[in-house]
Amino acid sequence: MALIPVFKPGTHTAVDGRKITFTLENCIDLAESYDPSLSEAPAVIGHPKLTAPAYAWAKSFEVKDGLVYAKLDQINPEFAEAYNAGSYKKRSLSIYLPDSPGNPKPGHYYARHIGFLGAAAPAIKGLPDASFAESDGEQGAAEFSMADEEFDENLISILANLRDLLIEKAGIASADLFLPQWRLESLRAISDRKQKEKEKMPQPLDASFAEQQAAIDAKNAELATREKALLEKEQTNKRAEFAAFADELVKSGKLLPAHKTTVVEVFMSLGSEPISFAEGDATVNRAPVDLIKKVLSERPAFMDFAEKSGADNDTKDSKERDDKQDPKVIADLAKKYQQEQADKGITVSISQAVEHVTKAKKQ
């Protein structure tokens, strides 16, 4: 995966001639709004039509040191080799504006595609070179292409020399006809105005950029901490829910107490993705946890773990001991036994009946 610079704040000229100013906040919005699952930005050669092949895909964008970086994935090996050889060293980013038709996220800046350029000059000059290497994504050699003001100065100098040559060879009248002085002064005025506009923009190494980058890093760290806390809270709530379910199984005699922890940990390890299977003529589509809960809840009870108080047991034992020693109880039981035997045609004396009842109560 490669991390390469593709854009920076400033006033840039689009292919159709529009001049558009991008602030650092716009660049941050561009990076944070990108969602490859919504619309993935391909890396292409030039700025082609939709049918052109993609040579890599942007996994994410981030703002770092005042530049917008693209993290590229699924890079075509032949394209990477050509890029590293210098065939397509410059980049040009195609961007949906907040109100552009077809913008996947209306109201935000969104990356459309990254054009890799050969002989054509990029609309965004001054981006450092990079290379596709199997590394941790660090930036490569920091060679910068010619900036706008350097190009303007060189062009004006060439035209001024050409005018001087025309004056020398054909006279000032011919020079004014083909390359008038006011044209050179107009070019100088345009160049000066562009330079002043650029000076108003904070530079990547300015303190303001460093402060804004620090604010971005702090915000990302805060979001990561908050996400971690939410995940931990969710896990804690799930564990408590599963423990309560296991407790109910134990109380109803459907689960041994020793197996409670095992059931909870198994539930915690199961994913939430539903599984589908046929059950008779119907198709079942439920989460694994719900299916196992159903099985455990519907199994018959095999043991009663309901709590019984010691007072109840003491009262029962005391009553049984009193019954064994109560003469009236013994007499009643003896008469009952004597009558039962008489109904069967067996004659039993009262002493025999008492002896029988007494022996039976001792067992």
Q: Report residue 71's pLDDT band, with 50, 70 and 90 as the boundaries.
A: very high
Q: Report residue 131's pLDDT band, with 50, 70 and 90 as the boundaries.
A: very low
Tokens of 95: 């961007």
Secondary structure in 3-state letters for 220-254: HHHHHHHHHHHHHHHHHHHHHHHHHHHHHHHHCCC
Q: Is the pLDDT of residue 133 over 50?
A: no
pLDDT at position 146: 39
d(CA 35, CA 26): 16
Q: What is the pLDDT of residues 199-234, one digit of tens each?
A: 665 555 555 667 777 888 888 888 889 889 888 998
The answer to whether 101 touches 62, Cβ cutoff 8 Å, is: no
What phi and psi, each to the nearest 5 degrees, are found at residue 4? -130, 145
pTM, whole model, 2 decimals? 0.37
Closest Cα partner for 355 from 330, 336, 332?
330
Q: How far is CA 108 from CA 18, 20, 214, in A?
A: 19, 15, 23
Return the sign of the alpha-carbon dihedral for residues 331, 333, 334, 335.
positive
Tokens of 271: 């994913």
Own/partner long-range contacts of 211-218 (Cβ < 8 Å, ≥24 apart) = 212/24, 213/63, 213/64, 213/65, 213/66, 216/28, 216/63
46-50, 93-97, 173-177: which has the minimum mean pLDDT? 46-50
Q: Report residue 27's pLDDT band, with 50, 70 and 90 as the boundaries.
A: very high
Closest Cα partner for 46 from 137, 119, 140?
119
pLDDT at position 209: 64
